[in-house]
């Protein structure tokens, strides 16, 4: 279906290039003329509507991504983006899947189904805009609707003559013509009379209302130049006291919160007026947050007031913020569902090691308990670090206990139970194509089969067979037995795709305790996006499984943690012994960024002294020899390496000298 859609797009654009009026092409721009943007007032010169109607069902189900368009048309990426912008702006296409970025690679474009053209469409739009936002001046209408100057002037004059709208002059800093709905004429006259009476009677005061208006609000746009002259251009929301702008807010929407980098109030106001205005603005921010709450953002952070960091504010202003529900966390006032606690990196690391069962009192006696708790183990080194007493070879243990091997979640080769493999298959949700279904159908339900025997059964070319088998293995339709046979496994029919993924996330939190959304996405690797995980994390928070906060001192990232765990972090026993963490350990994958930042090397073994990383090295295992290279650390760290080799019955050698060490 996808290829059919792309082939049709190619043919439609080729036909358009042959039949439409085009501007002279240049070396830089080789696209067919899709018309000009709506700002020019000319319709698109394209047959895209016919394309939309002809391929309605195909595009509605699949959509077309930006990368697919680039590969189909062989044009520069910037030209494709310009074309998408024109089609999108002029409402020939819409986004069926919205990325967080305007031209994000996840956007899928589909034809926008609209009714037939209205001859008076422009007049309807102008009338609707003036009725909703009037009185408005010419430039506000022009900027909002992007209609051509001459066309709009003629249209406004025509509508004025017809009585559809009416025009009058507002006197302020200078006379300005504005347009309004005729229904407002009587109300405006009544308001003008009431204002005159209020001015004549000093005892009568008109009630003032504090409002927050964005830069794009038609009312705020009237004051755009005066606001910029007074407060500068670094603002996104204006604070209006009645009908006058009295301040601005530099507000940013982040992935995990709404951040206010500065609140600036009119310096001409006296102290009490500024305090009154700040308190009113905070209450308006609460109303604004109701909108963001519906989109999953429930944290508001304020960093500065009048360019002064909030932790340096006068006591009265701090009291206003505190009375409105804000807590000072790491030098920023924060409001929302956040934990007020913060911890050092060492305290967080000790907590993670505790959750990972590396503390002596948390270790297991039975390897199967570790495998079930972790949902899979990567290596003997990972298994040994969490066991009391006897050491086990993971491969041998898997053979005797019929463990499954495959690319689990995260997508490492791991040993796990078949039940966990079924959970991961459901959570991955890979779709099968016809060839994959054919190969899978040749595997008996309860009998593992060799790869060579399976290839003989499917009657496919070797490359086609290997590609299909690889996809089945990645999607966990098949696993490998300890004897390297392929075995078919089922999914978990009682669990939906979303429920299975949520179970995987809950287990990861049980084993590590704390993540950022981005860190969780990086840990789970392919198939999970930070955007999807944020939705899941909020659901787990609502269910009472997780809590969140700015928990690590000196970091601005939002962390998610097991609910109730923050109260126990400082009460946990301190890990004191030295140990070696293998690169085939899931904890090493969890700490990979910290390891790279500290030791400036990639995948490596790490030496821990309690909860502190003190050394690192690369190593190669050849039979029973453990050859160390690029060692970083002191003599005590090297002693830990010697003990590690001894525990695993390996002969220790350095790469440069290839010299064996004894252990005495």
Q: Which residue is listed with tokens 């090295």? A: 617
Lowest-confidence region among 271-280, 407-416, 567-576, 646-655:
646-655
Separation between Cα atoms, residue 633 and residue 617, nearest integer Å: 9
pLDDT digits (tens, 9 = 90+) for 184-196: 877 777 666 655 5
pLDDT digits (tens, 9 = 90+) for 360-416: 999 999 999 999 999 999 999 999 999 998 889 999 999 999 899 999 999 999 999
Determine the angle formed by the axes of helices 434-441 and 451-458, rounding to 10 degrees.
120
Separation between Cα atoms, residue 469 and residue 455, nearest integer Å: 9
Separation between Cα atoms, residue 463 and residue 442, nearest integer Å: 17
Which runs of consecutive H residues, i.e. helices, occur in 112-242? 121-133, 138-145, 149-162, 184-200, 218-221, 224-231
Q: Give the CA-trace dihedral at 164, 168, 170, 174, to 10 degrees.
A: 120
Bridge-partner residues for 514, per DSSP? 561
Q: How far is CA 445 from the centre of its chain?
A: 40
DSSP track, 526-582: TT--HHHHHHHHHHHHHTTSEEEE--BTT----EEEETTTTTTGGGSPPP-SEEEE-
Residue 141 contacts residue 130 (beta carbons within 8 Å):
yes
Task: Output the CA–CA distances (angstroms, integers) from residue 105 to 64, 102, 469, 490, 523, in the order listed.
Answer: 10, 9, 28, 33, 22
Report the pLDDT value the prediction gives residue 59, as an integer from 0 to 100. 37
DSSP track, 191-217: HHHHHHHHHH-TT--PPP-EEEEETT-
Confidence of residue 116 (pLDDT cuts 50, 70, 90): low
Confidence of residue 205 (pLDDT cuts 50, 70, 90): low
SS3 content of the chain, % helix, strand, coil (to 5): 45, 20, 35
Q: Token pair for residue 359?
A: 């503390």
pLDDT for 198 beyond 60:
no
Report the pLDDT value the prediction gives residue 188, as an integer from 0 to 100. 72
pLDDT digits (tens, 9 = 90+) for 92-108: 777 765 544 444 556 77
Separation between Cα atoms, residue 100 and residue 612, nearest integer Å: 38
pLDDT digits (tens, 9 = 90+) for 138-182: 888 888 888 889 999 999 999 999 989 988 887 766 688 889 888
pLDDT for 440 beyond 90:
yes
Confidence of residue 446 (pLDDT cuts 50, 70, 90): confident
Nearest to 510 by CA among 564, 578, 588: 564
Where residue 630 falls (left for φ over 0; alpha for ψ -120 to 50; beta otherwise) is: left
Separation between Cα atoms, residue 371 and residue 352, nearest integer Å: 18
Mean pLDDT for the stretch of residues 524-539: 88
Q: Where are the beta strands (DSSP E) in 371-526?
A: 404-407, 413-416, 478-480, 486-488, 514-516
Specify the pTM. 0.76
Q: How many CB atoms lie under 10 A from the CB of residue 637? A: 20
Alpha carbons within 13 A on the beta-carbon side of 243: 5
């Amino acid at each position: 279906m996808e290829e059919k859609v792309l082939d049709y797009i190619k043919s439609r654009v080729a036909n358009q290039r042959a039949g439409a009026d085009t501007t002279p092409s240049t070396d830089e721009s080789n696209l067919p003329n899709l018309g000009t943007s709506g700002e020019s007032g000319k319709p698109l010169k394209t047959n895209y509507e016919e394309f939309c109607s002809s391929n309605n069902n195909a595009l509605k189900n699949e959509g077309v991504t930006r990368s697919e368009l680039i590969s189909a048309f062989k044009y520069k990426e910037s030209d494709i983006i310009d074309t998408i912008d024109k089609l999108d702006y002029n409402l020939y296409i819409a986004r069926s899947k919205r990325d967080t970025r305007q031209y994000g690679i996840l956007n899928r474009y589909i034809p926008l189904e609209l009714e037939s053209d209205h001859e008076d469409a422009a007049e309807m739009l102008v009338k609707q805009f003036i009725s909703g936002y009037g009185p408005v001046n010419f430039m506000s209408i022009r900027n909002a609707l992007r209609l051509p100057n001459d066309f709009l002037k003629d249209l406004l004059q025509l509508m004025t003559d017809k009585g559809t709208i009416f025009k009058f002059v507002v006197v302020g800093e200078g006379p300005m013509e504005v347009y309004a709905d005729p229904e407002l004429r009587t109300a405006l006259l009544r308001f003008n009379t009431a204002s005159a009476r209020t001015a004549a009677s000093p005892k009568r005061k008109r009630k003032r209302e504090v409002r927050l208006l964005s830069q794009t609000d038609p009312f705020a746009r009237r004051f755009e130049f005066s606001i910029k002259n007074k407060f500068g251009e670094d603002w996104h929301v204006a604070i209006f006291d009645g009908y006058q702008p009295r301040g601005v807010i530099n507000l940013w929407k982040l992935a995990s919160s709404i951040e206010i980098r500065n609140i600036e109030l009119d310096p001409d106001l006296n102290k009490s007026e500024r305090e009154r205005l700040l308190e009113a603005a905070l209450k308006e921010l609460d109303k604004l947050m109701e909108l963001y709450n519906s989109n999953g953002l429930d944290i508001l952070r304020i960093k500065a007031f009048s360019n002064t960091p909030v932790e340096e504010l006068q006591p009265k202003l701090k009291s206003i913020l505190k009375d409105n529900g804000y807590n000072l966390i790491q030098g920023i006032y924060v409001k929302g569902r956040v934990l007020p606690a913060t911890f050092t990196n060492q305290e967080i690391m000790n907590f993670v090691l505790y959750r990972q069962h590396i503390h002596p009192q948390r270790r297991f006696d039975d390897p199967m308990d570790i495998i079930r708790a972790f949902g899979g183990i990567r290596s003997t080194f990972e298994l040994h670090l969490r066991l009391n007493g006897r050491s086990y070879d993971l491969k041998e243990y898997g053979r005797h206990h019929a463990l499954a091997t495959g690319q689990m979640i995260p997508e490492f080769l791991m040993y796990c139970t078949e039940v966990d493999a079924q959970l991961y298959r459901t959570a991955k949700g890979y779709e099968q194509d016809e060839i994959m279904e054919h190969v899978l159908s040749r595997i008996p339900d309860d009998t593992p089969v060799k790869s060579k025997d399976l290839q003989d059964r499917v009657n496919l070319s070797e490359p086609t067979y290997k590609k299909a088998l690889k996809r089945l293995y990645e999607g966990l339709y098949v696993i490998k037995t300890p004897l390297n046979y392929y075995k078919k496994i089922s999914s978990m029919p009682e669990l939906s795709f979303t429920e299975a993924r949520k179970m995987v996330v809950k287990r990861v939190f049980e084993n590590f305790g704390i993540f950022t959304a981005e860190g969780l996405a990086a840990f789970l690797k392919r198939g999970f996006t930070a955007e999807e995980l944020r939705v899941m994390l909020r659901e787990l928070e609502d269910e009472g499984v997780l809590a969140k906060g700015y928990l690590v001192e000196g970091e601005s990232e939002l962390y998610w943690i097991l609910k109730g765990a923050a109260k126990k972090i400082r009460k946990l026993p301190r890990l004191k012994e030295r140990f070696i963490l293998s690169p085939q350990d899931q904890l090493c994958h969890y700490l990979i960024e910290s390891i790279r930042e500290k030791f400036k090397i990639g995948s490596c073994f790490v030496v821990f002294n309690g909860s502190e990383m003190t050394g690192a090295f690369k190593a190669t295992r050849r039979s029973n020899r453990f050859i160390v290279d690029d060692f970083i650390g002191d003599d005590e760290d090297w002693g830990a390496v010697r003990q590690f080799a001894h525990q695993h019955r390996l002969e220790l050698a350095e790469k440069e000298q290839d010299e064996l060490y004894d252990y005495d």
